[in-house]
Every structure is written in C-alpha cells, then in structure tokens.
Amino acid sequence: MTAWRGWYHAMGHTYGTWLPGDARGWRSRHHREHVDGDYRNPPPPGTHDALHARSSGLKKREAVFLDVEARQAAGRATVEMLVHQGAEVVAFCLDAVHFHLLGRFGALSSRQAVGRAKKHAYFVLRGRGHEGKVWASRSQSVPIDNRSHQVRVYDYILSHGDSGAWVWTWNQGIWWDRTVELR
C-alpha cells in the first residue's frame, strides 16, 4: 500500500518494554505466528505467560524507562536527526517507553531514517550518563491513507502530552535554547 502523499505514522519503543507474550497483546515479526488480541482487546489472562517469561529471561539487561529529562533530550535529538536527513516531521511524542511521529521521508526509507534518529538519540543519552541499549530493534511505519487519517494521527500524537510525554510539533521549530543546561 502506498502512503497518501508520502506521509507515515512511525512508532517504536524502548528496550524490553513490549515483549512477545505480553499481556497487552503482541505481534510476531511478519505475523509468522497468529496471536489473538492486541493492546485494545488483549488476549485472555495467562494465555502467553510461558512465552513472556521466556522472552523476559532472554533480555540481556533491564527494560528501559525514560525519565522526563531523558525524554526531552532524546526527543530533541530524534527530531533534529530526522530534519537533518531531510524528513518532514510535523508531530513527535516520546513518553517513558515509546514514541510516535508523523512525517514524510521523501526518497528516504522511513525505517532507515528513524533508525538513524534513534541512534543519534542513543548517543545523546549516552553523553548524559545513560548506559547500555535504549531502543528496541526496528520501528514500525504505517502509511497514512488520506487527510482524515493524517489528522487523526496528528491528534493522537498530541494527546500523549496529557499523560506526561514530551510532545513536539512542526510549529515549535528545532532551534532549542542551548543556554539551558539539561541534566
């Protein structure tokens, strides 16, 4: 399916926060395994407990939860790198465990552009004292179907601000106040 005018809704999460067997529902890569339910209609409790325990045991470190300052630093770094690569980003949010963005990537692959932005955010967080992996592997990009879909995604991204996410929109620009030192 092609994206309406090149717009995509990209999303991803931090390391270890949404694993196979999760009670909120999950999807296997390329849907190789059928799984009933999703985060809105989760599977019955206990359905995939053994798989979740196995997935948790395979983690090499603890799950990553970003505090407020880390969200701001990583969010800014992600938006900066996307814009640097030539992507058009109109909305971005990052909470403790996941991000959403609405953007147009032109000739770039959305997955590669978001991957580079995640890498840049990792190095910014590392410079602030964070150790180890920050992001889960890969991100997902869903093509926007039409204008109403684009508006719904935009509003959805902005709604994350109500739950403590760092939210950025295109009209704020990317010229952060560098005189303020973030801790």
pTM of the entire predicted model: 0.81
Task: List the one residue out of 105, 114, 79, 81 whose CA is nearest residue 93.
Answer: 79
Task: List the one residue out of 55, 53, 46, 56 whose CA is nearest residue 23.
Answer: 46
Per-position pLDDT tens, the chain of length 183 = 689 999 999 999 998 776 666 666 556 666 666 666 666 777 777 776 666 566 566 667 788 999 999 999 999 999 999 999 999 999 999 999 999 999 999 999 999 999 999 999 999 999 998 888 999 888 999 999 999 999 999 999 999 999 999 999 999 888 765 554 444
CATH among 3.30.1360.120, 3.30.70.360, 3.10.180.10, 3.30.70.1290 for 4-13+64-172: 3.30.70.1290
* DSSP single-letter state for residue 41: S
C-alpha 142/C-alpha 102 separation (Å) is: 10
Listed by start position, the domains of the chain span: 4-13+64-172, 29-58
